[in-house]
């Protein structure tokens, strides 16, 4: 299945196809280095953070995923970034995910994270967000947008005021590679063409074929 599905339909879809929603599983923070390969790393984080075993999620495999995205973008080898939607398509073509969903609002995305598991965000990144404070909080403030960024959203703070994110700038950034941003700030940023991706790592269970009808022995005897 290659068409985009809305995240509001994800729960009904998972239930209908007997796919168990996943919860977050911690993983070692990846590091994209001085590259614009965040889509490859954010989408790799989705694979690494869910219970279905996915072998070989490393910095090298995340870089390789980015280049698969650029091939799908029609720009093989280019270093100008990609989109979360292309990342989903690349994962699906590689057989790493079955079906993917996109949220239309932060509230919709937050509900999914809180109840079902991590998602991948594609949002504008502002100058004020590069350096988290001592609590790991990032704030765009009145600073300028530096460009787009892809990052994993895996949790909600206890007071429900902050989204907890796993970045791909190594474990020395933020709090062991993580940061928090207020839901209010995230909502404002997301409203400018943001992307929020959830996916199942398995395909829907196909319906069992109906057994062939057995011939009526009585009719055969009457003949």
Q: Between residues 118 and 203, which one has the greater pLDDT?
A: 118
- What is residue 81's predicted lDDT score, i.e. its pLDDT? 96
What is the model's pTM? 0.83
- What is residue 72's predicted lDDT score, i.e. its pLDDT? 98
Confidence of residue 121 (pLDDT cuts 50, 70, 90): very high
pLDDT tens digit string along 40-58? 999 999 988 876 656 779 9
Domain boundaries, the chain: 5-222
Question: Does the pLDDT of residue 3 top 50, yes or no?
Answer: no
CATH number of 5-222: 3.90.70.10
Asked if residue 60 lies in contact with residue 32, where contact means CB atoms within 8 angstroms, the answer is no
Q: What stretch of H or E contains 211?
A: none
pLDDT tens digit string along 123-142? 999 999 999 999 999 999 99
Q: How far is CA 135 from the centre of its chain?
A: 25
Q: Is 69 helix (H, G, I), strand (E, B) or coil?
A: helix
| Among 6-10, 83-87, 172-176, the least confident range | 6-10
pLDDT tens digit string along 141-175? 999 999 999 999 998 988 889 999 999 999 999 99
Question: Does the pLDDT of residue 205 top 50, yes or no?
Answer: no
Asked if residue 55 lies in contact with residue 96, where contact means CB atoms within 8 angstroms, the answer is no
Query: Tokens for 158?
Result: 């206890």
Name the E strands within the chain: 5-6, 100-102, 119-126, 145-156, 162-166, 178-182, 195-199
Asked if residue 108 lies in contact with residue 12, where contact means CB atoms within 8 angstroms, the answer is no
Q: What angle do CA 215, 218, 219 make, to 5 degrees?
A: 70
């Amino acid at each position: 299945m290659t068409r985009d599905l809305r995240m509001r339909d994800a729960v009904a879809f998972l239930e209908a196809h007997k796919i168990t929603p996943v919860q977050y599983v911690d993983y070692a923070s990846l590091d994209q280095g001085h590259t614009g390969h965040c889509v490859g790393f954010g989408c790799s984080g989705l694979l690494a953070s869910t219970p279905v075993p996915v072998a070989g999620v490393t910095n090298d495999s995340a870089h390789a995923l980015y280049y698969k995205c650029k091939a799908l973008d029609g720009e093989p080898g280019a270093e100008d970034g990609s989109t979360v939607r292309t990342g989903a398509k690349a994962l699906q073509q590689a057989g790493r995910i079955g079906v993917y969903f996109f949220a239309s609002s932060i509230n919709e995305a937050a509900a999914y994270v809180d109840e079902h598991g991590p998602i991948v965000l594609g949002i504008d990144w502002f100058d004020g967000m590069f350096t988290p404070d001592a609590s790991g909080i990032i704030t765009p403030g009145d600073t300028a947008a530096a460009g787009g960024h892809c990052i994993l959203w895996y949790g909600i703070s206890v007071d429900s005021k902050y989204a907890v994110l796993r970045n791909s700038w190594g474990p020395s950034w933020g709090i062991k590679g993580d940061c928090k941003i207020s839901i209010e700030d995230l909502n404002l940023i997301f409203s400018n063409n943001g992307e929020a991706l959830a996916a199942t790592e398995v395909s829907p269970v196909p319906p069992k074929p109906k057994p062939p009808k057995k011939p009526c022995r009585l009719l055969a005897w009457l003949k």
